[in-house]
Amino acid sequence: MIFNIFKLCRAGICLTSVTDSGLPSISESEVAESVANDIQKLKPSVMMETLKKLYPFFLALAYDIAIVVITLIIASQVIRFLSKMLEKFLKKINIDLTVRKFLLSTLKMVMYALVVLVLAERIGISSASIVAILGSAGVAIGLAWQGSLSNFAGGMIILFSKPFSRGDYIITPKAEGIVDTIGIIYTILLTPDNKRISIPNGALANDVITNVTANDIRRIDIAVGVSYDADIRKAKKLIKDAFDENGLVLKNNETLTYVSDLASSAVMLGGRAWCKTEDYWTARWGIIEEIKVKFDKNGIEIPYDQLEVHINESKGSTNQNKAELL
Residue 168's contacts (CB-CB under 8 Å, 6 or more residues apart) are 178, 179, 211, 212, 213, 214
Of the candidate CATH numbers 1.20.1250.20, 2.30.30.60, 3.40.630.30, 1.10.10.10, the domain formed by 164-211 belongs to: 2.30.30.60
Residue 189's contacts (CB-CB under 8 Å, 6 or more residues apart) are 170, 175, 176, 177, 178, 179, 180, 196, 197, 199
pLDDT tens for 201-218 read 888 888 899 998 888 999
User: Which amino acid, residue 319?
Assistant: N
Instruction: Give the pLDDT confidence score for residue 55 in this predicted structure.
Output: 65
Instruction: Give the pLDDT confidence score for residue 227 in this predicted structure.
Output: 92
Structural domain boundaries in the chain: 2-41, 58-143, 164-211, 217-297
Strand order in the sheet with 169-171: 196-200, 186-190, 176-182, 169-171, 210-211
**C-alpha distance across the termini of the chain, in Å:** 149
- The CATH code for residues 58-143 is 1.10.287.1260
Instruction: Give the pLDDT confidence score for residue 48 in this predicted structure.
Output: 64
Could you give the CA distance from residue 5 to residue 32 in angstroms, rounded to a whole number?
Answer: 10
pLDDT tens for 24-33 read 456 667 666 6
Closest by Cα among 281, 201, 205 to 246: 281
Q: What's this model's pTM, rounded to 2 decimal places?
A: 0.55
Q: What percent of the chain has pLDDT over 90?
A: 29
pLDDT tens for 156-174 read 888 778 888 888 999 998 8
- Phi (first) and psi of residue 107, to 5 degrees: -60, -45
Q: Fold identical between 58-143 and 164-211?
A: no
User: Which amino acid, residue 14?
Assistant: C
Instruction: Give the pLDDT confidence score for residue 60 in this predicted structure.
Output: 73
Give the burial class of 257: count Cβ atoms within 10 A of its Cβ; 0-12 exposed, 13-18 middle, 19 or more buried: buried
Strand order in the sheet with 217-226: 217-226, 267-276, 256-262
DSSP 8-state code for residue 152: H
Q: 217-297 has which fold?
A: Alpha-Beta Plaits (3.30.70)
* 155 vs 310: which has the higher pLDDT: 155
Over range 258-284, report the average pLDDT. Answer: 92
